[in-house]
Every structure is written in structure tokens, then in C-alpha cells.
Amino acid sequence: MIKHNGLALNYKSRTVTLQGSALTLTRSEFDLLFDLLRAKGEVRTRADLVRAARGDYYDDDAYISDADERAVETHIGNLRRKLREDPQSPRFLQTVRGVGYRLTPKRSD
């Protein structure tokens, strides 16, 4: 179980809750969220996230297309909507311009 700012992800049961309420995520959304939570605030590039979303389909040296990276951006946008993120004060996912995404710092609230 990985917890962060009111979010709880259980990899074995592939479940996610937000403040105790279950979220319905697609496989790709779940895999992206798991990868970001596991990285504990380290920046994950769009290419890293393509590999996380696609799993075995991409090796470390495989070509990642612009379309693959745009798909990740779409999944992140959908994930933010489901997490009810506030664009002015994100609670879970931060954009690192020109690079990728990272987890927000833990909050004390």
C-alpha cells in the first residue's frame, strides 16, 4: 500500500482510494500513478511514463514517438480530473515543464 496526501494505492489488488472513496482508473492511469508514487518525488520523463504505461512493449532503448508522449499527457490529464486536482495548488501531480511529471511533496493536512 502506497499512501500520499489522502490517496492510497494497493498494487496487489489494483485499487485506489481518495479520502476513503474508491476511484475507477484505467489500466494505463493506474500504472502511471503507481510509477509516480513509487518514484517518491523524482521527476519521471514522458518517455519513462510511456514505458510504465506500456509495460513490456517498450525496452529502455526503444523509440518513443511524439504520439506516445501525447498519449501519456492525455492519461495524466484524465488522472488529474479523477483525482480532482486543483490546477493552482496540485495535491498529487506536478508538471516539470519540458521534462515530465513528479509527485507533489507530502502535506501535513
The total of other beta-carbon atoms located within 10 Å of residue 95's CB is: 14
In a domain, 33, yes or no: yes
In a domain, 96, yes or no: yes
Tell me the pLDDT tens digit for each residue of 67-81.
989 999 999 999 999
User: Residue 5 phi/psi, 5° resolution?
Assistant: 50, 45
In a domain, 109, yes or no: no
Query: For every one of its 109 residues, what pLDDT tens digit does the chain have, with 9 covering 90 and above?
Result: 999 999 999 999 999 999 999 999 999 999 999 999 999 999 999 999 998 888 765 566 778 889 989 999 999 999 999 999 998 899 999 999 999 999 999 877 5
d(CA 63, CA 57): 11
Torsion from C-alpha of 76, 81, 87, 90, nearest 10 degrees: -70
In a domain, 53, yes or no: yes
- Quote the number of domains for the chain: 1
The owner of cell 476513503 is 20
pLDDT given at position 56:
60
β-pairing, 15-18 vs 7-10, is: antiparallel
Residue-range definition of the domain harbouring residue 24 = 2-103
In a domain, 30, yes or no: yes
pLDDT given at position 54:
84
pLDDT given at position 57:
57
In a domain, 108, yes or no: no
96 bridge partner residues = 100
Please name which of 101, 35, 26 lies closest in space to residue 69, comparing C-alpha atoms.
101
